[in-house]
Amino acid sequence: MSHIPGIAITGASGRMGQMLIRTVRDSDKARLVGAVERKGHDWVGRDVGEAMGGAPLGVIVSDDPLEAFAPAQAIIDFTAPGATLEFAALAAQARAVHVIGTTGMSEEEIAALEPAARHAVIVRAGNMSLGVNLLTQLTKKVAAALDEDFDIEVIEAHHHHKVDAPSGTALMLGEAAAEGRGVALADVSDRGRDGITGARKRGDIGFTAIRGGDIVGEHDVLFAAAGERITLRHVATDRAIFARGALKAALWGQGKQPGQYDMVDVLGL
Ligand SMILES: NC(=O)C1=CN([C@@H]2O[C@H](COP(=O)(O)OP(=O)(O)OC[C@H]3O[C@@H](n4cnc5c(N)ncnc54)[C@H](O)[C@@H]3O)[C@@H](O)[C@H]2O)C=CC1
Ligand SMILES: O=C(O)C1=N[C@H](C(=O)O)C[C@H](O)C1
């Protein structure tokens, strides 16, 4: 058996799935050993490289995750919350590292990952890029340095296919700002303003979501006070940054103790 970790990719035909397959294909540190799509998808049964319109990669797209995970040391999963919960149990069964990029998971769904994390490594982050994870640290610092005279607003923009809001990244940034302020985000979060909302509540952290065209992902953390404003900004122009981070997490997780980790752990920030 090769000592190079085998990786299975779920949601193989998706925007991130295809980017991940290209990233693993081009890496000399990992091997593509599995590709999963949902039952009934027209890629199932085809070579994943050919389905992507390129050369064959010797990996057939499967709708049986257990079969696809069997030869893998890591599963990289950017799909949907229900699918991710199912994959967590199967990845734990295979003792494979489960890298979760899926966003839009509820508190209950996140809590339901815990049994799997007793048996295997899970690395989960709403954004796998180096830049955004660095931005969370900066956000925490700035929020800790400023008092509530500065209103904090998180503004995010994404492509028109995105199904969840606020984005996973916006929530990470909101959590970082709340942590910097020493408050719980759940107590101060202000989402979905519409109509006669009343004046802004001091200390709240607000969220705004823009959806349009092919925007890959843009996030601003605005600190607005009387007479001055600070904006921390990250702009993603290429999904490769997320795929590179996810592959890094899959390799980092090899040999680690079972448990839940995030990209701050992986990147050592
Ligand atoms: N953490 C991060 O850095 C990033 C996270 N994301 C998140 O990744 C997720 C996917 O994003 P996209 O690739 O843009 O979406 P997409 O809609 O293009 O792809 C999702 C894929 O998952 C597949 N899928 C759904 N249920 C499945 C199941 N039960 N079994 C197998 N495959 C299944 C779909 O058929 C589809 O191919 C979203 O939650 C998004 O927010 C996206 C980019 C970066
Ligand atoms: O759905 C996307 O595309 C993205 N989702 C993640 C999020 O919800 O923050 C990360 C990135 O912004 C792209």
Q: How do residues 42-92 score in pLDDT, each as one tens digit?
A: 999 999 999 999 999 999 999 999 999 999 999 999 999 999 999 999 999
pLDDT of residue 2: 67
pLDDT tens-digit profile, the chain (269 residues): 568 999 999 999 999 999 999 999 999 999 999 999 999 999 999 999 999 999 999 999 999 999 999 999 999 999 999 999 999 999 999 999 999 999 999 999 999 999 999 999 999 999 999 999 999 999 999 999 999 999 999 999 999 999 999 999 999 999 999 999 999 999 999 998 999 999 999 999 999 999 999 999 999 999 999 999 999 999 999 999 999 999 999 999 999 999 999 999 999 99
Catalytic residue among 98, 162, 219, 234: 162
Cα-based distances in Å from 35 to 45, 116, 136, 147 = 10, 21, 32, 48
Residues at CB less than 6 angstroms from ligand 2? 103, 126-127, 158, 162, 167-169, 217
- Type of residue at 61: V
pLDDT of residue 3: 86
pLDDT of residue 192: 85
Distance CA 254, CA 231 (A): 37
Distance CA 124, CA 16 (A): 15
**How big is the chain, counted in residues?**
269
DSSP string, 235-255: EE--THHHHHHHHHHHHHTTT
pLDDT of residue 1: 54
| Site to substitute for ligand 1 among 13, 15, 16, most atoms within 8 A of C-beta | 16
CA–centroid distance, 41 to ligand 2, in Å, is: 23
CA–centroid distance, 29 to ligand 1, in Å, is: 24
CA–centroid distance, 185 to ligand 2, in Å, is: 20
pLDDT of residue 196: 97
Residue of minimum CA distance from atom 4 in ligand 2: 217
Distance CA 171, CA 9 (A): 25
| Site to substitute for ligand 1 among 9, 22, 78, most atoms within 8 A of C-beta | 78
Shortest-distance ligand to the CA of residue 216: 2
Q: What is the mean pLDDT of the chain?
A: 97
Q: What angle do CA 263, 171, 18 make, to 5 degrees?
A: 55
What are the structure tokens assigned to 78, written together? 């950017």
162 in catalytic set: yes
Shortest-distance ligand to the CA of residue 241: 1
